[in-house]
Structure 1
Amino acid sequence: MFLVKDSSEFREERIKQLQNEDPALASLLAVVHFEWTVRRAIIALGKSSNVEVREKLNRCHGCDRYKDLWKEEVFPKINRRLPGDVVKDWNGVVRAFRLRHRLVHGVSSCGADYAKERVHWALNGATNIRNECANYRIDLDSRLPVRKRARL
């Protein structure tokens, strides 16, 4: 659906277009986009080496885990929490993740307005994160800064 070279803005516009055709699919893609954004932000802003952060991210899925990893890796450097300080409507993002879980596991479906609201929350959350990174001159669509593992 998306290519590596696609910008965040391009992905977001495509997701917004899809919400009229297939709101449930758009909500899934919006959460995927949020996850892509938060993961890259944790790598870019984290205190540990890129390799170490990526290893931690291999075991990290879901809002609570992202929040905890942000607190461990990013908060010590920028003194801003992911929920509230960076992502303004964290509860909305959590609700978008819940819908994603229900759709992926076939637990339920949803109406168009319900899905569109969650698309909005996930995309706004991703934009909040991208804006926070821009404050530190980090473009998540570009090559991320490299922090190497400390040598003993």
Structure 2
Amino acid sequence: MFLVKDSSPLREQRILAILKEDASLSLLLSVIHFEWTIRRAIIVLGTSPNVEIRQKLKDERGGLDGYKKVWKDEVFLRVNKRLTEVITDWDNLKKAFKLRNALVHGISSCGQDYAIEKANCVIEASRIIRKLSSDYGFDLDTRLPVRRKK
């Protein structure tokens, strides 16, 4: 669905375009977009070499708790905010991730309005992370700077 060269606004536009047609799919795509965004933000805002941050992200296996932990270890020193402080609607984001898991694993389905609400929440969280990165001089849609081991 997404190409590497696609900008974040273009991805979000595509997600929103299918929102009314298939809200569940839109939610899944919004979570994919968020995870791409948060991982890149942690890498650019982090303090360790890229390879070490990537390994931490791999070891944590994603998920909001994993992202929170790596953010605390890598990004907190720079921005002086926990991930739950940056993303102000954290509880709703957690619900969106739970819904994503339920949909992916076939545990349950959901109504159109609920999926739309959660997809919008996730897209907004991605925008917040992208703005914070931009405030620190990093464009997540471009090649990431490389920090190597000393």
Asked if structure 2 preserves the Cα contact closer than 8 Å seen for 1:50 and 1:147, the reply is yes
Q: Deviations over 1:4-47 (max 9, x none)?
A: 00000000010001111110000000111111100000000011
1:35 is aligned to: 35
1:2 is aligned to: 2
| Counterpart amino acid of residue 111 in structure 1 | G
Instruction: Give the share of equivalent positions with the same residue, in percent.
Output: 53
Q: Map 1:1-152 to 2 at 5 A.
A: 1-60=1-60, 61-84=62-85, 86-150=86-150
Q: Deviations over 1:39-86 (max 9, x none)?
A: 0000000110001001111123111110111000000122111112x1
Across the two proteins, how many residue pairs are aligned to each other?
149
Structure 2: state its 5+ residue gaps.
none
Query: Whole-Å Cα distance in 2 between the matches of residues 62 and 73 of structure 1?
Result: 16
Using structure 1 for the length normalisation, give the TM-score.
0.96
Asked if structure 1 preserves the Cα contact closer than 8 Å seen for 2:42 and 2:74, the reply is yes
Shift of 1:144: 1.0
Using structure 2 for the length normalisation, give the TM-score.
0.97
The ranges of structure 1 where at least 4 consecutive aligned residues each deviate by more than 3 angstroms after the TM superposition are none
Query: Whole-Å Cα distance in 1 between the matches of residues 126 and 47 of structure 2?
Result: 21
| Counterpart amino acid of residue 18 in structure 2 | L
Query: Whole-Å Cα distance in 1 between the matches of residues 80 and 25 of structure 2?
Result: 35
Q: Deviations over 1:88-129 (max 9, x none)?
A: 211111111000000000000111001000001100000000
| Counterpart amino acid of residue 108 in structure 1 | S
| Counterpart amino acid of residue 27 in structure 2 | S
Asked if structure 2 preserves the Cα contact closer than 8 Å seen for 1:88 and 1:128, the reply is no
Q: CA RMSD in A?
A: 0.8
Structure 1: state its 5+ residue gaps.
none
